[in-house]
Amino acid sequence: MAVQLCVIKKHNVMENRINIQQVQPQAYKAMFALEAFLAGAIISKGHKHLLKIRASQINGCAYCLNMHTKEALADGETAKRIFLLNAWKESGLFSPQEEAILALTEEITLIAGHGVSDAVYNRAAALFDEVYLSQLVMAIVTINAWNRIAITTKTKLPD
């Protein structure tokens, strides 16, 4: 019983973590500059939504999943495709371009495991020109940075 109470207490403790935006606003300014660059990028909104949601799923970022699934739905993405995004390889719902983006997103997000394979990189490079591919890499890197910030600081979901 004492062990159970200890575990319950641990889960009920509210942790106050640093608010980087308040403490180091210049750091957030740099992140927002990346977002401004990506807002003007030629990557389609649909592609941006898919890579942001998929990276956030892998990283387990509730804050970003909440934000980006809402944005995707508002921009016309279907609930079915969002629900099945975690099983994109088996779903048959995604185009070859989207599949290449999702594979690249997974390998960049999980880069410590095996890097980015030549097969995945070359598949994307065959489907997209250098500008589009460069912007995809930057978008994937940026969402991964946001995921890590939100998870580390335990950014709360909006009400």
Q: Which domains does the chain have, with CATH numbers?
A: 43-153 (1.20.1290.10)
The pLDDT of residue 14 is above 60: no
d(CA 157, CA 14): 14
pLDDT tens for each residue of 24-78: 999 999 999 999 999 999 999 999 999 999 999 999 999 999 999 999 999 999 9
Residue-level pLDDT at 16: 79
pTM score > 0.85 for this model? yes
- The confidence score (pLDDT) of residue 2 equals 41
pLDDT at 15: 67
Distances (CA, A) of 51 to 9, 14, 113, 152, 155: 37, 31, 19, 21, 20
How far apart CA 66 and CA 68 sit, in angstroms, is: 6
Q: How far apart are CA 41 and CA 132, in angstroms?
A: 8
Per residue in 124-153, pLDDT (tens digit) is 999 999 999 999 999 999 999 999 999 999
Q: How far apart are CA 146 and CA 143, in angstroms?
A: 5
The answer to whether the Cα torsion of 141, 144, 145, 146 is positive or negative is positive
Taking Cα atoms as reference points, which of 32, 41, 46, 53 lies closest to residue 132?
Answer: 41
The helix, strand and coil proportions of the chain, stated in percent and rounded to the nearest 5, come to 75, 0, 25
Average pLDDT over residues 103-114: 97
- pLDDT tens-digit profile of 50-61? 999 999 999 999
Identify the pLDDT of residue 9: 34
Q: What is the mean pLDDT of residues 85-98?
A: 98
